[in-house]
A = this chain, B = another copy of it.
Amino acid sequence: MQTIEQLLESKDIRVTAMRLLIYKFLAEKEVAVTLSDIEDAFEKSDRTTLYRTIKTFEEKDIVHQIDDGTGITKYALCEKGCNCEIETDLHLHFHCNNCNETICLTDHKIPQIKVPDGFVSENVNLVVKGICDKCSGQ
């Protein structure tokens, strides 16, 4: 089991206090977060720093971006061995219309989608909306 420091170093990311804190924040959250969520959690630091940190994480495949249709970009830590860029690895995302939270359903992979002749599928984005387990009351 590697430490967060080791993970960052292995991805050629310099270890800073801020980066460790943001990583831990993401790791504790079980849902995808917006930049605003991170801002609220770290009011002392500047928005830009948080933004660039999350972008750095994204470039290095530590987090992946989620477009859940709310118009606000969300982010979540990648699972170990998650190859976000490979189509076959893509899991689906669930957005709760009640609590407004979005979560990764990491072990629900997107099924193979047929496209018409002449079309080449490279990537699929699938967001299911509805009521999450917490809100459905069971």
**In the complex, residue of chain B having the shortest beta-carbon distance to the beta carbon of A73:** B71
Q: Which of A's residues lie within 8 Å of B, judged by CB?
A: 67, 69, 71, 92, 94, 97, 105, 108, 111, 113-133, 136, 138
Question: A128 and B136: CB pair below 8 A?
Answer: no
Tell which of A115, A124, A133 has the most Cβ of chain B within 10 Å: A115
Note all chain B residues with C-beta closer than 8 A to A126. 113, 124-127
> Given the complex of chains A and B, what is the CA–CA distance between A138 and B119 in angstroms?
9
Contact of A131 among B120, B125, B136 (CB under 8 A): B120
Question: A128 and B115: CB pair below 8 A?
Answer: yes
Note all chain B residues with C-beta closer than 8 A to A69. 67, 125
